[in-house]
Amino acid sequence: MTVIGLTGGIASGKSTVTALLKEKGAVIIDADKIAREIMSKGEPAWFEVLNYFGDEILNDDRSDIDRKKLAHIVFSDKAKLEVLNNITHPKIIEEIKRQVEEYKKAGKKIIVIDAALLIETGLDKIADEVWVVAANEDIQLQRLMAREKDITKDEALKRIKSQMPLAEKLKFADRVIDNNSSIEETKKQVDKMWTKIS
Ligand SMILES: CC(C)(COP(=O)(O)OP(=O)(O)OC[C@H]1O[C@@H](n2cnc3c(N)ncnc32)[C@H](O)[C@@H]1O)[C@@H](O)C(=O)NCCC(=O)NCCS
Ligand SMILES: Nc1ncnc2c1ncn2[C@@H]1O[C@H](COP(=O)(O)OP(=O)(O)OP(=O)(O)O)[C@@H](O)[C@H]1O
């Protein structure tokens, strides 16, 4: 049984790599999905987030948090990002740990935690191995802007800069997947790594 902590900057290719690992039989714990769930309407984080950021972060029919509005606020203001992190991270960490235990009990052999903030949240400590998906900042920016059509270059850069630099992340890496070239090249690296762990 191996717990892999898969990390990398925004749009570095984590989802692309986890999709390949899933095809091979790994189970995936997606931190972004958990973050959305713990902040959905009526959940404790929903109330805490609204309490601090106010109703203006709601969408027009007030049925949900407008993630674009919230992103605009927190990625332009370090202190506010820290408040959001302080509200959400303990809950995300708790849920990820719960899922890891559940999968272990179910006898799953390879468990992957897909989290951009794996190291920042200390979740690397519950992983047997840390894998870093590496993409240079210009590639990250290019792919992020192609994926999120309505994000401005300034917003994209702010989000990239709000994260731990790749060079720092690499210090924690047991394995590195270079995702600067084609998906085919990335797949070859993942295939090789899979044979080593399975
Ligand atoms: C700010 C929010 C509303 C923006 O939502 P949006 O739908 O635009 O983005 P999404 O949640 O899909 O995240 C996309 C990527 O943004 C980056 N990102 C998200 N949160 C953060 C953060 N707190 N700090 C730095 N980067 C972040 C990550 O690379 C992530 O993969 C949302 O990201 C959020 O609630 N973040 C706080 C929770 C968190 O830390 N999530 C990441 C867990 S690893
Ligand atoms: N090697 C590649 N060549 C071309 N495009 C790629 C490659 N790898 C990923 N992409 C594309 O780049 C974008 C970002 O990749 P992906 O969504 O896998 O990154 P991520 O790290 O999971 O992002 P996030 O931090 O937002 O969760 C996607 O649109 C994806 O299809």
Report pLDDT digits (tens) over 92-117.
999 999 999 999 999 999 999 999 99
Which whole-number Å values give the CA distances from 156 to 66, 69, 147, 177, in the listed order?
A: 17, 14, 11, 23
**CATH 3.30.470.20 fits domain 2-33+90-197:** no
List of the chain residues with pLDDT < 70 = none
The counts of H helices and E strands in the chain are: 9, 5
Looking at residue 54, its pLDDT comes to 97
For CA atoms 180, 182, 185, 187, give the dihedral sign: positive
Output the pTM of the full model: 0.97
159 alpha carbon to ligand 1 midpoint, in Å? Answer: 9
Q: In this structure, which amino acid lies at residue 116?
A: A
Mutate to test the pocket of ligand 2, among 7, 10, 16 (most ligand atoms within 8 A of CB): 16
Looking at residue 63, its pLDDT comes to 87
* 46, two tokens: 């929903």
**Ligand 1 near 180 CB (within 6 A):** no
Does the interface predicted TM-score (ipTM) exceed 0.90?
yes
Asked whether residue 11 is marked as a ligand-binding residue, the answer is yes
Looking at residue 149, its pLDDT comes to 87
Backbone angles phi, psi at 41, to 5 degrees: -50, 130
Count of C-beta atoms within a 10 Å radius of residue 8:
27
**Ligand 1 near 92 CB (within 6 A):** yes
State the ligand closest to the CA atom of 122: 1
